Amino acid sequence: MPEDELSRSSHSNPGKSLVNGIKTNPASSSPKSSLSVPMGPPVYVDLAYIPNHCSGKNTDPEFFKRVRASYYVVSGNDAANGEPSRAVLDALLEGKSQWGENLQVTLIPTHDTEVTREWYQQTHEKQQELNIMVLASSSTVVMQDESFPACKIEF
């Protein structure tokens, strides 16, 4: 494309850009504002990793309303960075409560943390009401100089 055509095409719609395929006006959007993404049907998957090591930075009840999994993996193990986040675990309860169907959900923590233990104990009744099971691992894998808890998931 010649340079003058490129210049014209980039200025043909000033102030508009595409974010995730949606036209936005940069002047009216801020980093904290949410994108106006139209609601669609939820996505059903067998297994989903909770984003960003279960950090509260970008996972909220909306994630759990839209991404409906039979199994959610909680991989956070960094208390200094808020991983896993109690707010995200609570968001699972809030999001699942709005599903309108009582599908079985299994939460798989990859680490035994104080946050997940406290959340489990304090919300156990709500978990049962929502048909959420928290899977504890009693198996350990030993590889070379390393050992870690393990879970086997069958579909």
The 3-class SS string of the chain reads CCHHHHHHHHHCCCCCEEECCEEECHHHCCCCCCCCCCCCCCEEEEEEECHHHHCCCCCCHHHHHHEEEEEEEECCCEHHHCECCHHHHHHHHHHHHCCCCCCCEEEEECCCCHHHHHHHHHCHHHHHHCCEEECCCCEEEEECCEEEEECCCCC
**What is the tally of structural domains in the chain?**
1
Would residue 16 count as lying in a domain?
no
139: confidence class by pLDDT, cuts 50, 70, 90: low
Would residue 154 count as lying in a domain?
no
Does 154 score more than 50 pLDDT? yes
Question: 120 is in which domain, residue-wise?
Answer: 43-149
pLDDT in tens, 16-70: 444 444 444 444 444 444 555 667 899 999 999 988 767 777 888 999 999 999 9
Would residue 11 count as lying in a domain?
no
